Amino acid sequence: MELIFLGTSAGVPTRSRNVTAILLDLKHPTRGGLWLFDCGEGTQHQLLHTAYHPGKLDKIFITHLHGDHLFGLPGLLCSRSMAGNANPLTIYGPVGIQEFVETTLRLSGSWTDYPLEVVEIGEGLVFDDGDYQVHAYPLNHPVECYGYRVQEHDKPGALNAAALQADGVKPGPLFHRLKQGETVTLEDGRVINGQEYLAPPQPGKKLAIFGDTAPCPSALRLAEGVDVMVHEATLEAAMEEKANSRGHSSTRQAAQLAREAGVGKLIVTHVSSRYDVRGCESLLAECREVFPACELAEDFAQVSV
């Protein structure tokens, strides 16, 4: 999987950062998949500077209904339709997302020519197609807000074809069934259990994408053991009290969570517009003091999961 940051600023855009939006390219070998997490104002403009096309989007996950995470959605939906795209799209988000989509389209005399489904979510499993599952976890923000944990299902271990042939099992259709862990009966009457010829399963990738939040109990469950955690770091540690009072986290708090959750890598984003380049370097340094495996996202940064 690969993350592409389309916007990394908190609240308002700056000259170098747009407001929040993150693409996730699943890079699945057969089904593909392009998901968007949040859609701040101008997201469709940011997409124009990438190799990705809105028509390839099949899911949009909204963390909460604040404008810097949402106001780009109507324009993106309409442009996707005007381009003649017929691929279906599903939007997931808190209660109110359906009213927002329907009202903005109705009042602006707009529509979509592709199948559009809006799913209002709560805590728990949001999506599972057998390849990936997405869970939503409630966060601590002035409005209803969620973080999303994306988890790839474990992949079956490799089939030990050499061992099978050594036991007199010839390559053929049976190998496919054995690869699925099935038990098969050979022509000579022997019963072969495919599980005995499989390597251990390959663990699926795990990713946590937080919405805006002050520290909260569910954060650890959301982030525990993920390969990559994307978390806001709106303000520096010295302004922690102010950050928390507005439902946000400091650099230190984001890094502490990453350490406690045992994540592989921390990507901090949603940076206050008060910070220039030098200020952002200081934010990153504060994070790395607590959790060294940390990067501060820039617009158009790409991160492999």
DSSP 88-143: -EEEEESTTHHHHHHHHHHHTT---SS-EEEEE--SEEEEE-SSEEEEEEE-BSSS
Residues labelled as active-site residues: 68
Give yes or no for residue 32 having a pLDDT over 80.
Answer: no
Q: How far is CA 12 from CA 150, 188, 272, in A?
A: 27, 72, 8
pLDDT band per the 50, 70, 90 thresholds, residue 181? confident
Stated pTM of the model: 0.90
For 49, other C-beta atoms within 10 Å of its C-beta total 10
Please list the helix, strand and coil fractions of the chain in percent, rounded to the nearest 5, in that order. 30, 30, 40
- Identify the CA nearest to 5 among candidates 46, 41, 64: 46
> Looking at residue 146, what is its pLDDT?
98
> Looking at residue 108, what is its pLDDT?
96
**Tens digits of per-residue pLDDT, 117-171?**
999 999 999 999 999 999 999 999 999 999 999 999 988 788 888 888 888 888 8
Give yes or no for residue 240 having a pLDDT over 90.
Answer: yes
88-102, 145-159, 216-230: which has the minimum mean pLDDT?
Answer: 145-159
> Looking at residue 211, what is its pLDDT?
97
> Looking at residue 41, what is its pLDDT?
97
